[in-house]
Structure 1
């Protein structure tokens, strides 16, 4: 691809973000919109956002990061935390908005990990797990310097690792998943069930910051579940680092202090204890940058479905222009 920009898109349960990203990672024309709750409104919001950002720009590729699961063969998405989208033809829709350029689809957790590995808190490490803690919990793996999507493109889905088989039901249909404890809505729900009168995760974090015992207990329970998922993944994948972003990570030490404490307590093997847990350096732009990076790498060579390739080139589905 030449010096044209990548139209990068990051779709999650809370927001849809888009921007133009250069080969150096510089973002321009960044815009966001809240994620609507109906399929019709979702489609219209996506089209309006992409059209406004792309208008008049020289675009060489489109990089799409979406919550999953993804169907990499069909180019469709069925995000667990966006119930209105089931088998939504995301690649086709984006290709219709910006015709004539290749479109690359990647999971939002993998995109966040790739972004952090490229320009953020994972830069320079060999193997890392990126986690997005927000409306849901997404994850993505970079192993030996290469994004690892797995055969279906959905590897790294730490939010749906079961940490308590007898635990609460999860939106994925399972029980006791990390997400059922540690997502923002899950911690809020637990606190409300125990008498907290607040409305959302931001208020919960504020109350925890003021030392409210119930709010602190909600974060303690949520981070314990997240720590169990992290330790299990580090044991399996021999990770150097875990990088955590997403809206709930803005709570800072309210989230990271108990999380690191639980990781230290649960990590019994030496190679797991060396895994560090760090906050995102890229914040809300990690997914956008990872989507752009994936599209840039895909433009340098073929993307093979279901295998990992040099420099992360196989971390996505790419549909050619036209």
Structure 2
């Protein structure tokens, strides 16, 4: 039982397609403990989740926690607390909220999409260092491509909890099949695996997105074109979303975004060249100021800013 007057600390959990991360985060935004576990063939996703949580509770006892905020790749259903991440095939309608409640009984659990959490984390922790944004789109470019809105300081989840699934806007009707079941989605072009697949089909001999980034930095033509192609697909999706929602700001995070200017520069250029309407031309596009921890800050904010998020 927590002692009255003790400092508020929440457990933030970030469910990605290739790794799980968690952190104990205080109300003033300090990460006290952080842990990460990679998904692999030697352990199930459930085992990886348990190991991730255990790495935190080994150092911060459960009775010091006030709640659990979790951001997950989708699709998801916040009403039932289930998730079906496209890149975790073993999890279909997986009861993530119930599982976390069983691991840490008595704590409230709140769930949102991973990119929604990234956008919320950026709004909460990074916005004081930038011009205020009333309408933010967060995009996670990693194993998949996820998206989420924060409007007037509140995550906009939509009726099913899946608003902002920008990775599954079709940008190439004749393109590759997507794991979601459609064809030519942004994810097939701009995700790490999608970029690598295209580069290898066009003569590049590397094996993963990290190597592709290094090759592009070294001036490899095919690797550079892979990033330009990804930037073009993201720009189409960004402008589509902005035309619908009138965005102030787009924030890009995730493993592929770690490429920095190699992705950001052609993305900004493509947005500028294709933004016809005046209100689209005011759109700002940045990399997250919080790096890989943006989603964890946003997951924590699901608990810490809960009253603000209520309609």
Instruction: Say whether the fold is shared (TM-score over 0.5).
Output: yes
Q: SS state of the match for residue 156, structure 1?
A: coil
- 3-state DSSP class of the match of 2:67? strand
Query: Is residue 260 of structure 1 aligned with residue 257 of structure 2?
Result: no
In structure 2, the residue matched to 1:208 is 216
Residue 123 of structure 1, CA deviation: 6.6
Q: Is the 8 A contact 1:294 1:313 kept in 2?
A: no
TM-score, normalised relative to structure 1: 0.90
- For residues 50-109 of structure 1, what are the alpha-carbon distances to aligned partners after superposition, in whole Å with 9 as ceiling and x for unaligned? 123124240110111110111222211000121121111111110111111111111111
Distance 2:8 2:277 in 1: 47
Q: Aligned match of 1:281 in 275, 289, 292?
A: 289
1:66 aligns with 2:69: no
Cross-structure match for 2:50 = 47
8 Å contact kept, 1:148–1:312: no
Work out whether 1:22 is the aligned partner of 2:61. no
Summarize the alignment of residues 191-270 of structure 1 with structure 2, pairs less than 5 Å apart. Answer: 191-270=199-278
Whether contact under 8 Å (1:12, 1:35) holds in the other structure is no
Preserved CA contact (<8 Å) 2:157 2:163: yes
Task: Decide whether the 8 Å contact of 1:37 with 1:84 is kept in 2.
Answer: no
| Corresponding residue number in structure 2 for 1:313 | 310
Q: SS at the partner of 2:242?
A: helix
Task: Give the distance between the partners of 2:160 and 2:78, measured in 1 at CA.
Answer: 6
Using the alignment, how far apart are the partners of 1:203 and 1:223 within structure 2? 18
Cα RMSD for the two superposed structures: 1.6
Partner Cα distance (1:312, 1:181) in 2: 33
Q: Deviations over 1:118-160 (max 9, x none)?
A: 0125772111101110000111101233221111111011000
Describe the shift of the 1:313–1:108 C-alpha distance in structure 2 as closer, same or farther (beyond 3 A): farther
Per-residue CA deviations over 1:257-306 (Å, capped at 9, x if unaligned) read: 111111111111110011010010111111111011011223x4xxxxxx
Question: 1:137 touches 1:183 (CA, 8 Å); kept in 2?
Answer: yes
Are 2:189 and 1:181 aligned?
A: yes
Measured in 2, the distance between the counterparts of 1:37 and 1:166 equals: 33
Structure 1 distance, partners of 2:217, 2:277, is: 32
Alignment of 1:102-181 (within 5 A): 102-120=108-126, 124-181=132-189
**Gapped regions of structure 1 (runs ≥ 5):** 301-310, 315-322
In the alignment, the residues of structure 1 paired with residue 97 and residue 267 of structure 2 have an alpha-carbon distance, to the nearest angstrom, of: 36
**TM-score after normalising by structure 2:** 0.93
Select the residue among 36, 40, 47 that pairs with 1:36. Answer: 40
Seen in structure 2, the aligned counterparts of structure 1 residues 106 and 123 have a Cα distance that, compared at 3 Å, is: farther
Q: Report deviation, 1:15.
A: 1.3
SS of the equivalent of 1:120 reads helix
Provide closer, same or farther for how the CA distance between residues 20 and 123 of structure 1 changes in structure 2, counting only shifts above 3 A: farther
Q: Which runs of 4+ in 1 moved over 4 A?
A: none
CA contact (8 A) 2:37 2:51 kept: no
